[in-house]
Amino acid sequence: MANIVVFGSQWGDEGKGKIVDILAENSDAIVRFQGGNNAGHTLVVDGEQCILHLIPSGILHPGKMCMIGNGVVLDPVVFCAELDKLDAKGIDVSAGRMMISKKCHIIMPYHCQMDGARESVKSDSKKIGTTGRGIGPCYEDKMHRCGIRASDFADPALLREKIEKALEEKNVLFKHLYGVDMVDADTVFNEIPPYAERLVPYLGDVSSAIQEANGAVLFEGAQGTHLDIDHGTYPFVTSSNTVTANAAIGSGCSPRDLERIVAIVKAYTTRVGGGPFATELNDADGEYLQKQGHEFGATTGRKRRCGWLDLVVLRESVRLNGPTELAITKLDVLSGLKEIKLCTAYEYKGEQVSYPPQEQNGMAYVTPVYESMPGWDEDITGVRSWDELPENAVKYLKRIEEITGVKVGIVSVGPDRAQTF
C-alpha cells in the first residue's frame, strides 16, 4: 500500500476528516502535520458524530497508530479534553497507539490572549476572523525562536526559563499596546504540571515511527490550500503551510515518501472567517447551500459563507499540491437545484485569467466567469456507485475532471462513513 496525503483544496471544511477516516482503514499510521485545534474534522460512523480538533481522524479504527507531527501546534488543554472525550466513548487513546512529536510547538495561554488582542484592534474589514485558538501567535514564536516545544514539558527548569523569556516582549504589548492584563510567568508555569504529566508519556520521535511503520502512512492535512500562509489569500489565511509538500516537513519524512495524493473537494465552495471569496452567493442559492449542507463551523459554530464551485481556486490547488485523484464531497447537497454554476475563469484588470491573482487581495477584485449546468432532483444520499448517479451529476463530475485534469477517485454523498463510493 502506498502512503497517502489528504489535503483540503479550498478554504477548509471540505470533508477531510470523513475521507481520512475511510482511508485509515487500510493504513498503518495516521499523522497530522500542520495546524492545531483551529481544525474541526467531523466523522460520522453508523449515525454517531465525532468532531476531532487535534487527534488524527484515524483514531476510530482500533489498532491504528495516530501521531501528531512536529509541524502541528498543540494546545495541551484541548489535547487532554479530547483524550477524555474519546476515552469516555471507549476508544483506546493510550500511549501505545498515540505519539506526539517532541518537536511539536505548544500553544500557551498567552498565545490565545494575543490572538484575541490582535483581532480586537482591527477594523471589521481587516479582521481575519481567526478561530481565536492562539494558532498565529504560537507559530510566530516558533519562527521567532522562542517557542515552547513539547519536549520542554519534561524539563521544568528549561520550561520556566522559556516562559519568562517569551513573556518579556508580550507583556509590553499586552500592557502598552493592547491595554489588556499582563500575564504572570509563575501562574502560567504553575498550571502546567497536570498537563505535562499526561503529555510526557506520549512524547516520541514521529519521524522514526513513520520510517518504521509496517504499512502505509496516511498524512492528514488541516485547513485548505487557499488558507496557506504562502499560497492562500494573504493576509486572510492561517499561519501554517497547508499544501502537501508540508506533509514531509511537518512530520519528518522525505518528499519521496508522499505517494498517493488525495485532494478533498467540496462540490461547492465555503469559507468561514474574513477574506475574499469570488463565487460567494448572497442570495437564495447561497442560503440553499448553507441550509442543505448544514454549513456551520465545526470549531467555532460560525455560519459558513457559501458559493459555487470555483475551478480557478481548484486549478491552483492542483498545481500546488499535485493530486493523483480528487475526492468530491457533499455532492448530495446540490440535489434540488435547477441550475448549477461552475466558475472556470476570472475577469481581472480587464483580462481573463485562469489562476488567482498573486497581488495582496487581488482576489477581492476578480469577477467570476461562469459556466452553467443543469441540476438534478433525485436524492442521491443512498447512491453507492457511479452507475446509480443521475446523468447530470455524472456530467458535473466529468466536467470537474476535464477542467482540472485530475480523475475523481472518491465520491461522498452524505456525512456517514458508509455514504461513499
The binding site for ligand IMO (CB under 6 A) comprises 8, 11-13, 38-41, 128-131, 133, 135-136, 222-224, 227, 238-239, 272-274, 298
| Least separation in angstroms between CB 169 and ligand GDP | 33
**Residue 333-362 contact track with ligand GDP, rule CB under 6 A, x = bound:** x-----------------------------
For ligand IMO, the closer of residues 115 and 403 by Cβ is 115
Known catalytic membership, residue 111? no
For ligand IMO, the closer of residues 22 and 213 by Cβ is 22
Instruction: Strands of 14-151 (E only): list them.
Output: 29-32, 41-45, 48-52, 65-68, 73-74, 98-101, 105-106
For ligand IMO, the closer of residues 235 and 336 by Cβ is 235
Instruction: Strands of 203-320 (E only): list them.
Output: 203-204, 217-220, 260-266, 269-271, 305-307, 309-310
Instruction: Strands of 183-323 (E only): list them.
Output: 203-204, 217-220, 260-266, 269-271, 305-307, 309-310
Partner in contact with 383, chosen from ligand IMO, Mg ion, ligand GDP, none, beta carbon below 5 to 8 Å by kind: none
Partner in contact with 329, chosen from Mg ion, ligand GDP, ligand IMO, none, beta carbon below 5 to 8 Å by kind: ligand GDP
Give the phi and the psi of residue 181 in degrees, each rounded to 5.
-60, 145
Q: How are beta strands 217-220 and 29-32 bridged, if at all?
A: parallel
- For the chain, the 3-state helix, strand and coil shares in percent, each to the nearest 5, are 35, 20, 40
For ligand GDP, the closer of residues 353 and 418 by Cβ is 418
For ligand GDP, the closer of residues 12 and 323 by Cβ is 12
Known catalytic membership, residue 41? yes
Q: For residue 385, give every residue at least 6 positions away whose Cβ sits within 8 Å of its Cβ, in sequence order, or none.
A: 421
Are 287 and 144 in contact, with CB atoms under 8 Å apart?
Answer: no
Partner in contact with 332, chosen from ligand IMO, Mg ion, ligand GDP, none, beta carbon below 5 to 8 Å by kind: ligand GDP
Query: Which is catalytic among the residues 13, 115, 141, 228?
Result: 13
Distance CA 159, CA 339 (A): 58
Give the phi and the psi of residue 9 in degrees, each rounded to 5.
-100, -5
| Least separation in angstroms between CB 40 and Mg ion | 4
Query: Which is catalytic among the residues 41, 53, 111, 231?
Result: 41
Counting residues that bind Mg ion (by CB under 5 A) gives: 3
Q: What is the grid cell recorded at 303?
A: 455560519
* Residue 14 binds to Mg ion (criterion: CB under 5 A): no
Distance CA 421, CA 416 (A): 12
* Residue 221 binds to ligand GDP (criterion: CB under 6 A): no
Tell me which H or E stretch contains 410.
strand 408-411
Binding site for ligand GDP (CB under 6 A): 8, 12-18, 40-42, 44, 298, 329-330, 332-333, 412-415
| Active site residue ranges | 13, 41
Binding site for Mg ion (CB under 5 A): 13, 40, 298
